[in-house]
Structure 1
Amino acid sequence: MDDQNKNLILAVVLSGIVMLGWTILFPAPETVTDPNATVTEVANTDAGQTTAVAPPAATGTAEAPSVAETASASAEAPRIAIETPRVIGSLSLVGGRIDDLSLKDYKTEIDGDEIVTLLEPVGDATPYYATYGWAPGGALTVEDVPGANTLWSVESGSELTPDSPVSLIWDNGKGLVFHREISIDDNYLFTITQSVENAGDAAARLFAYGVVARHGTPERTVRSPVLHEGLVRLSDKELDEEKYKNIVDFDYDPREGGKVSVVSVEANGWTGFTDKYWMTSLVPQPGQSFTSVAKYVEAGNIYQVETRMPTVDVAPGASVTTTSFLFAGAKEWETIKHYQDDNGFYRFVDSIDWGWFWYFTKPIFRILHALHGLIGNMGWSILILTLIIKGIMFPLAYKSYVSMARMKELQPDMEKLKEQAGEDKEKLQRGMMELYKKNKVNPASGCLPILLQIPVFFSLYKVIFVTIELYHAPWIGWIRDLSAPDPTSILNLFGLLPFAAPEAGSALAFLSLGVLPILLGISMWLQQKLNPAPTDASQAMIMAWMPWVFMFMLGNFASGLVLYWICNNTITFTQQYLIMWSHGHRPDVFGNVLRSLRLKKKGA
């Protein structure tokens, strides 16, 4: 096998590795249906019937909380309506649980009327809810404390709004009276204040808890290793993110009745479940010690997170009160930061999935958010952000562009060396190195800006892919959702033909290029024309195909990301063109293209 064929095979293999790695790191959206989340299963399962004993070091001898409730009990429960400017739903008086919540500001489809449902009661297709209460210890039993099927009475309030909290009461008939006040703000934060009065003759041992339970493995709208969905919790300074498949792999503890991970928190923390755009988190009072529990109950396929307060002894005639919070809503940076700064929720903005390059992702998002506040359009904000990033990197890129311009000027000399060396590869390499040294050109200097752009591009990808601020955000014309792929398709001539484009995930979706992906391919191709061609014919052929390969690879990416890449390529092309011009090289890119087309036409 000659060297040329070896180089061709090597180039093809390397290109395949690049494309495989790209699709792994940046997969296109893929609809996934989870076979475990069946309606029949979740509707007929009692939720989390745990009778385990909590870890003695954290909670004394009190029992772990139980969230068991039947579907019939949930359906027959009296309810109190919840309505704020941003959410609507209800809470159940059976268990006093918050299990019905929808988000007014977000629709499931950009052209639809259905709003996003976050929480659902037992008996619905995908039960997901929060509940609070007290767990018994000492001489108390589960009948002595309010449980999942306890029917609470309304002490005050008929509707939960930002201006009207609701108070519930339950008397166990044995000297203990339990109160629960629930309030909500204008956004997504519930405040739950629980108290117990001991009118009996003996001390009562118990502890307060909060639970978020989720039945069935949630369906994922996209399958991507760069997107975290599942457990997210902060335990003092330790941020923990576990996917649902990892929760299932926790160690089984017979005392808990499931697979658990238990962490003692000294002062600050929170725990919950996060989706791509939504989150439900339990947040104790800042400075409050508690036990953070993540659990998987195999019977019913139920995931739970719990916050367990320290066990207390309530003396006769005394009372105990504890306050905690529930965040249930959209992961809006500004809202979450407000709770962090004004409510003291330690590092609450880290509940947003900033990714590996958070030191780039956070400032990029801050700039993008500020630009959006000034302009009011995310598409134009992305374009201006690209200009800012290119401006910051220009001093470094300048040296690279100068080097590439000088290499372009050396192209005729390199062709002569190639002719003189013939098949002697070693002679060719020596001649090229001498040519570079003589003209003070470093061929590797062009790689540095590209390497620096990788974490920046990855960070911007995270921002556009994960943050809800891009959700259903329009730009211009046909781009009405920057978080979704370009809806146009070359297969129906961009809407001129009377049939729809292939749906995402279908066999033809890969070929269904929209306007933006095609512009991306053209911008990459034009930029490539300014760079010196590889001396090896096989490598040159592979490089010639790369713009079009990437055009298809990025075809189903978010429009906002493709928009950034087009803008980035256009600015790079302009900068490089002007720098080459200033150094005496006159790149005739468009003339070369026209001449190439004319030659092909004559040959035909």
Structure 2
Amino acid sequence: MDDQNKNLILATALSFVVILVWFVLFPPPEPEPVPEPDAMTQNIEGEALAAAPTTADVPASPAAQAQVREETLSESARIKIDTPRLIGSVSLLGGRIDDLSLKDYRETRAAGSPIVKLLSPVGTPSAYYALYGWAPGAGLTLDDVPGANTEWVVESGDTLTADSPVTLAWDNGNGLTFRRELAIDDEYMFTVVQSVENNTGATVSLAPYGILARHGEPADLKNFFILHEGVVSMADGTLAEIDYDDMLPAAEATETAISENGWIGFTDHFWMSTLIPEPGTAFKVSALHDTTRNIFQTTAKLSTETVADGQNTSVTTQLFSGAKEWEVLRDYEKDGIQNFVDSIDWGWFFFLTKPIFWLLHNIHALIGNMGWSIIGLTLIIKAILFPLAYKSYVSMAKMKELQPQMEKLKEAAGDDRQKMQQGMMELYKKEKVNPAAGCLPILMQIPIFFSLYKVIFVTIELRQAPWFGPFQDLSAPDPTSIMNFFGLLPFAGPEPGTLMATIFIGILPLLLGISMWLQQKLNPAPTDPTQQMIFAWMPWVFMFMLGSFASGLVVYWIANNTITFTQQYLIMRSQGYKPDVFGNIKSGFSKKAKSEKE
């Protein structure tokens, strides 16, 4: 068997196996064990969960849900939120930030599609909100401190904007006056200043906290192993991710102590809400699941404050609630929020996914089109790998030149395989040829392929990113199909992910199969029937397997195959070997026709 063909089969088969195994068995990291909670934390959780009723049953239609949302919002007095990127409101019941939508993002690309709703009040489907309060210390009870159902009053401000904060106040009637100042920047960051003034005639102690509560799992939960959705937290440089089904029940809730820097919250595919105590502050975080009410909750509890009579104290925390845009997260990280960019799920190959995304992001900043940016990224990757590819293709060309001598060795050795192997090794050494060099470019593509797939799937910059014509979302599968003549006819093809879409593939998977097939034709078909069958089927198997992947990834693969074909053809010609592509194509069809006649 031709050693070059052996290597190509081995490398391609290995690539195929690794792709399948990785996509089936790639496990997420297990959450690390944390210490037991104290009694005050249990009081916080119990107060918040008891005060939050379960989500009411609502009709399933979008119109009915929208009506329920409007009716629920009207049931409590509210402060309007209106910034360049956010719109919503704060409920004076509990001072909850429970109504927030993203002005720049729509649910789909369809005309008139509603903007994305991130936070929703209790009583609506998938209620999701932030609330703040104080846990009572010695001498105080839950009635003495504000909680989830406290009726706050507006002390100053009427609309929360990037330029105008608002202040809420509540007097407990026993000498304690609580205030909460809310401010927001022009992106997605709230600043929450909680203060208490003590006129009780005695010293009091109490601990401020922030809570993110979520009623049930998100309606659009992907449940895809390549993507983490659930709790995400940073504790003094250590990232932790917990899936919804791995969150501990309320009775078993545990707590992590953070000495200086950290944050905790819920991350979705493209959105996130995160509690962020002031950097340099010690605090504790916890995550739990109230299985009775099906409420998921993350808590950040700050250190206990002791306030003497006639004195006051205040604490500042932040709340991020918005889109996981890399530039925005990076800027917040530069401002002191430790490792905030790591809230994007970069995966185990972060050492590749991060630089690949950075490069793609900057190319897009220059070009302004994500499809052409992916092709530009492919060109740069191929340029970086060119020295390796050059050595590989030179080695393959020399292997072709050695074919006559290898055939003589096989004839001379007969059935003595050991003698043949020794002779071939001597020949390789004499001619300075590495038979394994042909595998290296293909093997190098495996981690790059995984990393680019991760980047395209998890980053919001690729969400609904258009290219041209029918390709208006490179994070989604190819929308074209043979059924609509590859997008030329004015109707949609089969729903992506269905059996019909797999069978009636689009133009991009078809081009992928053709590009792989042409790459094969740089070399004559192997004489072994088994090899011939594998080579004949491989492009079309990959065509159907990758047809349901994000179209941006298929664009990368087509560009990669095209550049590889060009490189290999030119390099092999420069070494004296002239690939007969058209002759190999003709020979393949001739052999097929002859086989069919027989």
Contact 2:282 2:302 in 1 (8 A): yes
- For residue 136 of structure 1, report the CA deviation from its aligned partner: 0.9
Corresponding residue number in structure 1 for 2:47: 66
Letter in 2 for 1:117: K
- 1:544 Cα deviation from its structure 2 partner: 3.0
Query: Structure 1 CA distance, aligned partners of 2:94 and 2:408?
Result: 85
Look up the match of 1:55.
38
- SS for the counterpart of 1:579 is helix
Gaps of 5+ in 2: 25-35, 57-71
1:62 and 1:138 in contact (8 A); partners too: no
Matched, 1:212 2:209: no
Aligned to 1:98: 97
Give the letter for the 1:237 counterpart.
Answer: G
> 1:133 aligns to what?
133
Aligned to 2:390: 398
Q: State the 1:530 CA deviation.
A: 2.6
Identity of aligned residues (%): 59
In the alignment, what sits opposite 1:25? 22
Contact 1:258/1:298 (<8 A) preserved = no
- Residue pair 1:100, 1:120 contacting (<8 A) in 2 also: yes
Q: How does 1:231-310 map to 2 (within 5 A)?
A: 231-247=231-247, 250=248, 257-310=250-303
119-128 or 401-410: which moved more?
Answer: 401-410
CA distance in 2, matches of 1:177, 1:470: 48
1:200 corresponds to: 200
Q: How far does residue 540 in structure 1 lie from its aligned partner after superposition?
A: 4.0
Q: Deviations over 1:382-439 (max 9, x none)?
A: 1111111111111122111111122233345556666777777666655644553453
| Residues 1:190 and 2:174 are matched in the alignment | no
Q: Say if 1:61 and 1:282 are closer, same or farther in 2 by CA, change over 3 A.
A: closer
Provide TM-score, normalisation by structure 2.
0.87
Rate the CA distance shift 1:334–1:498 in 2: closer, same or farther, 3 A.
Answer: closer
The alignment covers a number of residue pairs equal to: 559
CA contact (8 A) 1:417 1:431 kept: yes
Q: Which amino acid in 2 is paired with 1:66?
A: E
Q: Deviations over 1:538-566 (max 9, x none)?
A: 23422332221111111011111111111
SS at match of 2:252: strand
Q: 1:216, CA displacement in angstroms?
A: 0.9
In structure 2, distance between residues paired with 1:95 and 1:199: 23
CA distance, structure 2, for counterparts of residue 427 and residue 66 of structure 1 = 81
Of 359, 379, 391, the match for 1:367: 359
Q: How does 1:474-489 map to 2 (within 5 A)?
A: 474-489=466-481
Greater Cα shift, 155-164 or 450-459 = 450-459
Q: Which of 566, 575, 588 does residue 574 from structure 1 map onto?
A: 566
Closer, same or farther in 2 for the Cα pair 1:61/1:263, shift >3 Å? closer
For 1:419 and 1:489, the matched residues in 2 are separated by: 51
In the alignment, residue 463 of structure 1 is paired with which amino acid?
V
Q: Distance in 2 between matches of 1:86 and 1:194?
A: 25
Q: In structure 1, what residue type is equivalent to 2:467?
A: W
2: CA distance, partners of 1:207 / 1:106: 37
- How far did 1:312 drift? 1.5
CA distance 1:332–1:26, change in 2 (3 Å): same
**Which residue, 337, 344, 367 being the options, matches 2:330?**
337
Q: Tell me, yes or no, if the aligned pair for 1:197 and 1:320 is still in contact at 8 Å.
A: yes
1:215 to 1:396, Cα distance in 2 relative to 1, 3 A? same
Instruction: Point out the more displaced range, 592-601 or 298-307.
Output: 592-601
Change (3 A) 1:214 1:418: farther
Q: Conserved in 2, the CA contact under 8 Å of 1:61 and 1:137?
A: no
Deviations 1:556-596 (A, max 9, x none): 11111111111111111111111100011111113321454
Tell me the TM-score normalised to structure 1 length: 0.86
CA distance in 2, matches of 1:192, 1:308: 14
Q: Which amino acid aligns with 2:383?
A: G
| Distance change (3 Å), C-alpha of 1:461 and 1:310 | same
Single out whichever of 577-586 and 67-76 deviates more from structure 2.
67-76
- C-alpha change, 1:434 and 1:473, in structure 2 (3 Å) is same
Aligned to 2:167: 167
Which residue of 1 is the match for residue 65 of structure 2? Answer: none
Is the 1:84–1:162 contact (alpha carbons within 8 Å) kept by the matching residues of 2? yes
- 1-structure distance, mates of 2:412, 2:533: 22
Name the counterpart of 1:110: 109
Q: Secondary structure at 1:267's aligned position in 2?
A: coil
Q: Which shifted more, 504-513 or 106-115? A: 504-513
Aligned partner of 2:306 in structure 1 is 313
CA RMSD of aligned residues (A): 2.8
Inter-partner Cα distance in structure 2 for 1:200 and 1:453: 69
The answer to which of 504-513 and 354-363 deviates more is: 504-513
Gaps in structure 1 of 5+ consecutive residues: 28-52
Which SS does the other structure have where 1:326 is aligned?
strand
Do residues 524 (structure 1) and 521 (structure 2) align?
A: no
Q: Which moved more, 1:169-178 or 1:372-381?
A: 372-381
Match of 1:383 in 2: 375
2:300 counterpart SS class = strand
- Secondary structure at the counterpart of residue 324 of structure 1: strand
**Which range is displaced more, 78-87 or 220-229?**
220-229
Report the Cα offset of residue 440 of structure 1: 3.1
The answer for the alignment partner of 1:38 in structure 2 is none
* 1:65, distance to aligned residue in structure 2 (A): 6.3
**Matched position secondary structure for 1:76:** coil
Superposition pairs for residues 459-478 of structure 1, below 5 Å? 459-478=451-470
Deviation digits for residues 123-177 of structure 1 (CA, Å, limit 9, x no counterpart)? 1110111111111111111111111111110111111111221110000000000
Residue identity in the other structure for 1:352: I
Match for residue 507 of structure 2? 515
Residue 287 of structure 2 aligns with an amino acid whose one-letter code is A
Q: CA deviation at 1:500?
A: 3.7
Report what 2:534 is aligned to: 542
Residues 261-299 of structure 1, C-alpha deviations (whole Å, 9 max, x = no match): 310000000011111111110011011110011111111
Aligned mates of 1:561, 1:417 — CA distance in 2: 44
* Closer/same/farther in 2, CA of residues 448 and 596 from structure 1, 3 Å limit: closer
Structure 2 CA distance, aligned partners of 1:420 and 1:551?
A: 42
The residue that corresponds to 1:588 in the other structure is 580
Task: Measure, in 2, the Cα distance between the counterparts of 1:420 and 1:493.
Answer: 56
* Change in 2 beyond 3 A, CA 1:587/1:130: same
Distance 1:212 1:531, change over 3 A: farther
Instruction: Give, in whole Å, the separation in 1 of the partners of 2:44 and 2:564.
Output: 64
Report SS of the residue matched to 1:476. Answer: coil
Alpha-carbon distance, 1:83 to partner: 1.2
Task: State how far apart, in whole Å, the 2-side matches of 1:349 and 1:129 are.
Answer: 23
Deviations 1:87-132 (A, max 9, x none): 1111111010111111111111112421111111111110111111
Residue 274 of structure 1 aligns with an amino acid whose one-letter code is T
CA distance in 1 between partners of 2:43 and 2:539 (Å) = 64
**1:60 & 1:275 partners in 2: Cα distance?**
26
| One-letter amino acid of the structure 2 residue matched with residue 83 of structure 1 | D
Do the aligned residues in 1 keep the contact of 2:522 with 2:584 (CA within 8 Å)? no
Structure 1 residues 581-590 or 532-541, which shifts more? 532-541
Q: 2-side partners of 1:518 and 1:25: how far apart?
A: 24
Q: Distance in 1 between the 2:552 and 2:382 partners?
A: 17
Are residues 481 and 63 of structure 1, via their aligned partners in 2, closer, same or farther at CA, if it must alter by over 3 Å?
closer
Partner SS, residue 126 of structure 1: coil
Amino acid at match of 1:475: W
1:324 maps to 2:299? no
CA change 1:429–1:491 in 2 (3 A) is farther
